[in-house]
Amino acid sequence: MTPERAEYLAGLPKKRIAAGVLFSDDAGRSLVVEPTYQTYWKLPGAVVDADESPFAATARVIRDELSLSADPGRLLAIDWVPPDPNRIEGLVFVYDGGILSAGQTAHIALPPSELRSWAWCDDAELRTHLPDRMLRRANAARQARTEGSTIYLEDGVPVGRD
């Protein structure tokens, strides 16, 4: 690589990338987790590591944070998250985890250093567990699953839809 190319690449903007998964049960509730390092709940997910794809990160989360042997499904949503004083801007990819059976749910085991607990939440419970941005993202991903579509969001709000 030339020094000019290295300088160009070093000067490109930096964005945080995260990936998560939307799991549901047969009652239509969504699975959320309670991290040990945050004050709010979220869909299962993680920051995408260097040289890791968002899909691979989601598979890692399913395996390492939930102890499930399921693969992520199709992409439901991409959300551009604006910067704020506590974080850089980022992109969040949400994949479809499908509907978990009672047998699969019984095998969920959380890493205690990262996650305190998990829960199935209906619409009202999601509103009490998730911050507004994440609630908008989760609801949009649920809608995209129902519609068989993929949705683009900015700060959890659909963009480019009629």
- pLDDT tens for residues 106-128? 999 999 999 999 999 999 999 99
What is the predicted pLDDT for the residue at 80? Answer: 97
* CATH for the stretch 17-156: 3.90.79.10
Q: Residue 155 and residue 137: Cα distance in Å, rounded?
A: 8
Both tokens assigned to 143? 């809608």
How far from each other are the two terminal CA atoms of the chain, in whole angstroms?
A: 45
User: Is the pLDDT reported for residue 61 higher than 90?
Assistant: yes
Instruction: Evaluate whether 22 touches 43 at the Cβ level (below 8 Å).
Output: yes
What is the predicted pLDDT for the residue at 160? Answer: 82
Q: Give residue-wise pLDDT tens across range 2-55.
A: 989 888 988 888 899 999 999 999 999 999 999 999 899 999 999 999 999 999
Mean pLDDT score across all residues of the chain: 94
What is the predicted pLDDT for the residue at 161? Answer: 67
Q: Give the amino acid at 100.
A: L
What is the predicted pLDDT for the residue at 18? Answer: 97
What is the predicted pLDDT for the residue at 6? Answer: 87
What is the predicted pLDDT for the residue at 162? Answer: 60
User: Is the pLDDT reported for residue 93 higher than 90?
Assistant: yes
| Angle CA 138–144–103, to nearest 5 | 70
Q: Give residue-wise pLDDT tens across range 135-149.
A: 999 999 999 999 999
What is the predicted pLDDT for the residue at 86? Answer: 85
User: Is the pLDDT reported for residue 70 higher than 90?
Assistant: no
